[in-house]
Amino acid sequence: MESIKSYVRYNETHKILICLQHKHAIAPGTGLKRHFQRQHPEMSSGTRQKILESVKDLELEDVDNVVIPDPEEYPIADIEVKNGFACRHPECDGFYAGEMSTMAKHCQRKHGRQDNDPICWTEQTVQTIFQSNTSLKLANIVR
Closest separation in Å from C-beta 39 to Zn ion? 4
Q: Which residues bind Zn ion (CB under 5 A)?
A: 19, 21-22, 39, 87, 89, 92, 95
- Radius of gyration of the chain measured on its C-alpha atoms: 17
Smaller CB separation from Zn ion, 15 or 22:
22
How many Cα neighbours within 13 Å face the side chain of 140? 14
Closest separation in Å from C-beta 59 to Zn ion? 20
Smaller CB separation from Zn ion, 15 or 111:
111
Where does the chain show beta strands of DSSP type E?
8-11, 16-19, 24-26, 81-87, 96-97, 121-131, 136-141
Smaller CB separation from Zn ion, 85 or 95:
95
Closest separation in Å from C-beta 46 to Zn ion? 17
In sequence order, the β-bridge partners of residue 122 are: 86
